[in-house]
Amino acid sequence: MNRKETDIYDITIVGGGPAGMYAAFYSGMRAMRTKIIEAKQELGGFMRTYPEKLVWDVGGVDPIRCERLIDALERQAKTFDPTIVFGQEIADMQRSEDDIFVLTSKTGEHHYTRTILLCAGRGMTQVQKLDIEGANRYELTNLHYTVTDLSRFKDKCVLISGGGDSAVDWANEMEKWAKQVIVVHRRNEFTAHELPVAQMKAFAKVMAPYRIARLYGEGDQIETVAIEHTENGAIEKIAIDEVIVSHGYDRDFGHLLRWGLAKEDYGVSVDLRMRTNIPGIFGAGDFITYGSKVRLIAGAFQDAVLAVNSAKLYLDPAAPDMAGVSSHNARFFEKNKAIIQG
Ligand SMILES: Cc1cc2nc3c(=O)[nH]c(=O)nc-3n(C[C@H](O)[C@H](O)[C@H](O)COP(=O)(O)OP(=O)(O)OC[C@H]3O[C@@H](n4cnc5c(N)ncnc54)[C@H](O)[C@@H]3O)c2cc1C
């Protein structure tokens, strides 16, 4: 393969969600030449699906809108100027004779690296769309698969379809904004947590077990939704202003699982130092699983630190086990000066 020494990175992080972004920062602290490759055109990962939500459970951070947390993580990820590649889904991995990994994207580009850190989360998630003919024509107007601006629902009649945490959370958020909230769910029981379900039932009109059967519109705007009772087939028509569909996501790990990585139900298996069964390949975040795995942003940070430290030791067994703490780390001296003088 035609490659130069400068094409080779110490660590290549696949996936730019919270695990990948924090790993990029921490690998900079460990003076590793770092590349992040993200399939989408932006960093943020799954957090991009709930940009308006307030996040409370990241240590030391006041309740913060998720999109602002993404911005902060992105700035932190860029602290040591990693190379960031967008729009490339990594598919294949090979190892050359001199032990350099060659990653190949679906679009045919090659990336050379001494170690790989897989932060691919739930893989290439695709939102589960309404399986109704012609539904896509309303996607640019009043059919939503995520909510990015709550104010557009002010004083509207909003129909929400779904029974999981996300659907119920959106319903509860709408209470402050919408004129009326109707929740349609195909089963009698909601899978969301009890407390938010009870909160929703206190103000929303809940129609279960029903499913959306048809959308009627004028031009590109849905005006009426036909819902069908899933047990007796009875149809009701409801006039609405906005429709939110929250039916979850399909997970697709693409070609990554063809590499020979050991896997359990919830993800790729790693040991307590985030090492996969393939030497030189590590994992962090929702992509992996181990006994006490925490599927939260905070858990992704912890995994990222452990994985980067393992990658560093893989490259240099004489290196310290972990980076020096940031408050006393020479890599920050100049940056600290700039901030203090700032
Ligand atoms: C509705 C909802 C609300 C949540 N709220 C909270 C909360 O309040 N607090 C909290 O701590 N956690 C919350 N979580 C969980 C949190 O979002 C996840 O734990 C976190 O996003 C996992 O981060 P990650 O980096 O491992 O993966 P992800 O965020 O899934 O990022 C993975 C990235 O990898 C990319 N990728 C995948 N495959 C490839 C490939 N082959 N090549 C290149 N790129 C690839 C994807 O495009 C994606 O950008 C919530 C989750 C959901 C579903």
Nearest CA to 210 out of 196, 226, 223 is that of 226
Which atom from ligand 1 is nearest to the alpha carbon of 249?
53
316 is in an annotated binding site: no
In angstroms, what is the span from residue 73 Cα to ligand 1's centroid? 13
Amino acid 146: pLDDT:
86
The mean-pLDDT minimum among 51-55, 105-109, 208-212 falls in 51-55
Q: Write out the residue limits of the CATH 3.50.50.60 domain(s) in the chain.
A: 5-125+251-341, 128-248
Amino acid 189: pLDDT:
95
Average pLDDT over residues 32-60: 94
User: Is the Cβ–Cβ distance between 115 and 275 less than 8 Å?
Assistant: no
Amino acid 1: pLDDT:
62
Amino acid 269: pLDDT:
97
Nearest CA to 90 out of 202, 14, 196, 184 is that of 14
Which atom from ligand 1 is nearest to the alpha carbon of 165?
1
Amino acid 49: pLDDT:
87
Residue-wise pLDDT tens digits, 308-327 = 999 999 999 999 999 989 99
CA distance 198 to 196: 5
Amino acid 2: pLDDT:
76
User: Omega before 209 cis (within 30°)?
Assistant: yes
Half-sphere exposure in the Cβ direction for 263 (13 Å, CA): 12
Residues 6 or more apart whose CB falls under 8 angstroms from that of 137 comprise 217, 220
Amino acid 53: pLDDT:
86
Average pLDDT over residues 29-53: 94
Helix residue spans in 16-96 (DSSP H): 18-29, 66-77
Mean pLDDT of the chain: 95
User: Is the Cβ–Cβ distance between 308 and 302 less than 8 Å?
Assistant: no
Ligand 1 binding pocket mutation candidate from 297, 302, 305, 306 (most atoms within 8 A of CB): 297
CATH topology of domain 5-125+251-341: FAD/NAD(P)-binding domain (3.50.50)
Q: Amino acid identity of 20?
A: G
Nearest CA to 54 out of 161, 154, 172 is that of 172
Residue 342 has pLDDT above 80, yes or no: no
CB atoms within 10 A of CB 275: 20
Instruction: Choose the CATH number for 128-248 among 3.30.1360.230, 3.40.50.720, 3.50.50.60, 3.40.50.300.
Output: 3.50.50.60
Residues 6 or more apart whose CB falls under 8 angstroms from that of 80 comprise 24, 25, 27, 28, 29, 34, 331
Amino acid 70: pLDDT:
98
Residue-wise pLDDT tens digits, 48-59 = 988 888 999 999
Residue 25 has pLDDT above 70, yes or no: yes
Residue-wise pLDDT tens digits, 59-101 = 999 999 999 999 999 999 999 999 999 999 999 999 999 999 9
Residue 124 has pLDDT above 90, yes or no: no
Nearest CA to 13 out of 31, 34, 44 is that of 34
Which atom from ligand 1 is nearest to the alpha carbon of 20?
25
Residues with CB under 6 A from ligand 1: 14-20, 37-40, 45-47, 50, 55, 57, 89-90, 119-124, 166, 254, 256, 285-287, 295-298, 300
- Torsions phi, psi for 92 (to 5 deg): -115, 155
Amino acid 5: pLDDT:
87
CA distance 241 to 252: 33
Average pLDDT over residues 263-278: 95
In angstroms, what is the span from residue 249 Cα to ligand 1's centroid? 12
Smallest CA separation from ligand 1 atom 20, residue? 297
Amino acid 285: pLDDT:
98
Q: Crossing angle for the helix pair 18-29 and 297-315, nearest 10 degrees?
A: 40
- Torsions phi, psi for 184 (to 5 deg): -110, 125
